[in-house]
Amino acid sequence: MATASYGPAAVLEARSGRPTLKVNGADGASKALHSLYDPEAEAKALVDAFRFDGEGLLVVLGLGLGYHVARLAARYPGVRILVVEASQEIYELCVKYGRTADLGPEVEFVLAASPEEAIREVTRRQVRAGMPRLTLFSLAPAVSAFPGYYEPIRARLGRAASVRLWDRLKYRKLEEERVRVALIDFGYFLTREIEGALVRLGHTVRKVPVRKGEEGSLIVSRIMDEILSFRPDFFLTVNHLGFDETGALTAFFRSIEMPVASWYVDSPNLIVKAFRENVSPWTSLFLWDKGYVPDMRAAGFEDIAPLPLATDEKIFRPPGRGRKKKRALTWDVGFVGNSMVGPTEERLAKVDSGLHGLVDRLAEECLRGRSPVDERIKALDGADRSRLASLDPASRVNFEAAVLWRTTLRYRLRCVEQAAGFDLRVHGDRGWSLLLNGSGSLGRPLDYYRELAAFYSRCRINLNATNLQMGAAVNQRVFDVPACGAFLLTDRQEALDELFDVGKEVIAFEAPEEIPGLLRFYLDHPEKRRAVTERGRARVLREHTYRHRLRALIEHMRSRYGRGRAG
């Protein structure tokens, strides 16, 4: 036989005249990966003995010179075949001497440095393909030569195939009165409130931790384990947190018909526009601001429902009575919030410097007319419109966010400045020290769970200036402050009239210039302040806690996906 040596591997000529391959295995012994007599006849016999119905994804462990792969591709045309190979050298030898030229586009290769990487890549491609059923074909001599590499892969993937994983991941959901909710835990502040409300409603919750920057296939693998052990009725996330840009997790959920509820409490336009692959008929969006409904429908989402923010009445409540308390400082006016200096600078750094002037101009126009940012951007024409049209999706999102944060910064500053002549206390980030220039008393950021309720209760009036990404909606303070039995003066958002009896349960201003007069009136009339706070707290406890919101969310999910409609 003629021999050509390539390091630990050697290409030989079989007696049939076809090339065959020997390798030095992990134990140092020389092993033939194909017959030394007739490798093609051997491959035919192996494939003839293989039992496969032609459905799903076929994973081949070991490439060799590809005789068996070519035979499988011919036997099962149209079937996706994924070949896992441990050695880059063997792959190159197959390209040079083997049968790769006979393979069509349905055959793909995974050349991974470790079994763990190979398993992750197979899982990733399975997810992209819609989670088809998986079947294994092992080239026995390759597995024998490199057992430390192939055996863990065969064990992990073989276990998934043998237990009919697909069937176990698909089941009927939302049929019981008490539901099981898998809550994606990204460390966002609402996770605690949502979990508490669901538990108080009598439902079962399991948090699924997800870390920033984590690869989609790793998340899918973890979530798959959670589904098998917990069998949730649906997954719940906030702002699509935990979902990757490539849409791997969305594709997985769609393939197993797993309902997903995503509750947006920030602008979905700043998220979904950069994550188009997360649109799915199995994802229901709940928007804290109904003004985004048309945009989300245009993005392709089928099921969208409004769901305002709320409060956790266990955290935000009046100070305890009957206990000896330390003397608390009291201010006439209090404001808690981000100055938006940091977020504005962060977004501007991602925007071409040539567009910074346009950002400032649009922010001033939005502030002057109190008009929505997206409407002002859509109204651009001429050169400005052309410049924006040339931006890629990520750059467009950064530009829109920069305008939004710049406008909010100026609006909040204008509102807070109206209270500068009173006994004012501001708690927030360091940006306020740059903006207020000594006006009012400045304090550090407050812990939302441990300190904020106490601060609200120490202020005679709590001022609120809504982030302008909330076109029609109201923010957290509108619910948290009254829940504490404290007085709120807020800007008048469209949704405010839908949630409260404005003028009786909450007091609102139409423009920042109204703030000083309203502050003076209610500081001079404590009995009127007290009446408003009592009525406002009663309304919040009656209609606006997280228990109310989660009850509505579950009933919506049940009506869309339950009672035999899914699974």
Maximum separation of any 2 CA atoms in the chain, in Å = 106
Work out the average pLDDT over 522-545: 97
- Is the separation of the CB atoms in 502 and 492 below 8 Å? yes
pLDDT of residue 370: 63
Listed residue (535, 518, 426) closest to 483, CA to CA: 535
Listed residue (44, 109, 32, 89) closest to 70, CA to CA: 44
- What token pair was written down for 289? 């601001």
Of the pLDDT bands very low, low, confident and very high (cuts 50, 70, 90), residue 335 is very high
How far from chain centre, in Å, is Cα 54?
A: 35
Pure H helices in 261-392? 269-272, 293-299, 341-348, 356-369, 373-378, 382-389
What are the pLDDT digits (tens) for 156-179? 888 766 556 667 788 899 999 999
What are the pLDDT digits (tens) for 60-71? 999 999 999 999
The partner residues of 441 in beta bridges, in order of sequence, read 425
Work out the average pLDDT over 37-50: 94
pLDDT of residue 214: 73
Q: Which residue has the higher pLDDT, 472 or 478?
A: 478
Phi-psi region of 64 (alpha: psi -120 to 50; beta: other; left: phi over 0): left
- Is the separation of the CB atoms in 547 and 201 below 8 Å? yes
Given a cut of 80, is residue 59 above it in pLDDT? yes
In percent, the amount of the chain with pLDDT more than 70 equals: 93
- Is the separation of the CB atoms in 396 and 273 below 8 Å? yes
Rounded Cα gap, residues 75 and 71, in angstroms: 6
Rounded Cα gap, residues 194 and 545, in angstroms: 10
Q: How many CA atoms lie within 13 A of 101 on its CB side?
A: 5
For helices 341-348 and 393-417, give the axis angle rounded to 10 degrees: 150
pLDDT of residue 166: 65
Given a cut of 70, is residue 465 above it in pLDDT? yes
What are the pLDDT digits (tens) for 366-386? 888 666 777 778 788 888 888
Of the pLDDT bands very low, low, confident and very high (cuts 50, 70, 90), residue 320 is confident
Work out the average pLDDT over 537-548: 98
What pTM does this model have?
A: 0.75
Tokens 């890549």, residue located: 121
Rounded Cα gap, residues 375 and 361, in angstroms: 14
Work out the average pLDDT over 214-222: 72
The alpha carbon dihedral of 402, 407, 412, 413 has a sign of positive
- What token pair was written down for 308? 């305002």
pLDDT of residue 480: 98
- Is the separation of the CB atoms in 519 and 489 below 8 Å? yes
Lowest mean pLDDT among 217-226, 357-366, 405-414, 511-520: 217-226
- Is the separation of the CB atoms in 473 and 290 below 8 Å? yes
- What token pair was written down for 444? 């550090």
**Distance between first and last Cα of the chain:** 59
Lowest mean pLDDT among 38-47, 465-474, 535-544: 465-474
Rounded Cα gap, residues 253 and 260, in angstroms: 8
Given a cut of 50, is residue 7 above it in pLDDT? no
pLDDT of residue 102: 75
Tokens 């089928």, residue located: 302
Rounded Cα gap, residues 275 and 262, in angstroms: 14
In the DSSP assignment, the letter for residue 181 is: E
Q: 3-class SS at 93?
A: helix
How far from chain centre, in Å, is Cα 562?
A: 24
Q: Which residues are within 8 A (CB) of 231 and not within 5 positions of it... i.e. 6 or more apart?
A: 171, 180
Q: What angle do CA 132, 135, 137 make, to 5 degrees?
A: 145
Work out the average pLDDT over 332-358: 93
Tokens 């948090």, residue located: 207
Listed residue (443, 423, 421, 424) closest to 432, CA to CA: 443
- Cα distances from 437 to residues 147, 334, 376, 413, in angstroms, run 69, 17, 31, 11
pLDDT of residue 328: 63
Looking at the chain, how many residues does it have? 567
DSSP assignment of 70-82 equals HHHHHHSTT--EE
Rounded Cα gap, residues 478 and 486, in angstroms: 11
Given a cut of 60, is residue 323 above it in pLDDT? no
Given a cut of 60, is residue 327 above it in pLDDT? no
- What token pair was written down for 161? 């195939």
Phi, psi dihedrals of residue 465, rounded to the nearest 5°: -130, 110
Given a cut of 80, is residue 1 above it in pLDDT? no
pLDDT of residue 5: 33
pLDDT of residue 329: 64
Q: Which amino acid is at 163?
A: V
Lowest mean pLDDT among 185-194, 283-292, 477-486: 185-194
Winning range, highest mean pLDDT, from 260-274, 316-330, 341-355: 341-355
- Is the separation of the CB atoms in 285 and 262 below 8 Å? yes
pLDDT of residue 160: 64
In the DSSP assignment, the letter for residue 471 is: S
pLDDT of residue 220: 78
Phi-psi region of 545 (alpha: psi -120 to 50; beta: other; left: phi over 0): beta
Rounded Cα gap, residues 153 and 114, in angstroms: 10
pLDDT of residue 494: 92
Q: 3-class SS at 409?
A: helix
Rounded Cα gap, residues 458 and 398, in angstroms: 38
Domains of the chain in start order, with CATH, are 3-168 (3.40.50), 180-310 (3.40.50.11930), 331-544 (3.40.50.2000)
Given a cut of 60, is residue 3 above it in pLDDT? no
pLDDT of residue 216: 64
Q: 3-class SS at 122?
A: helix
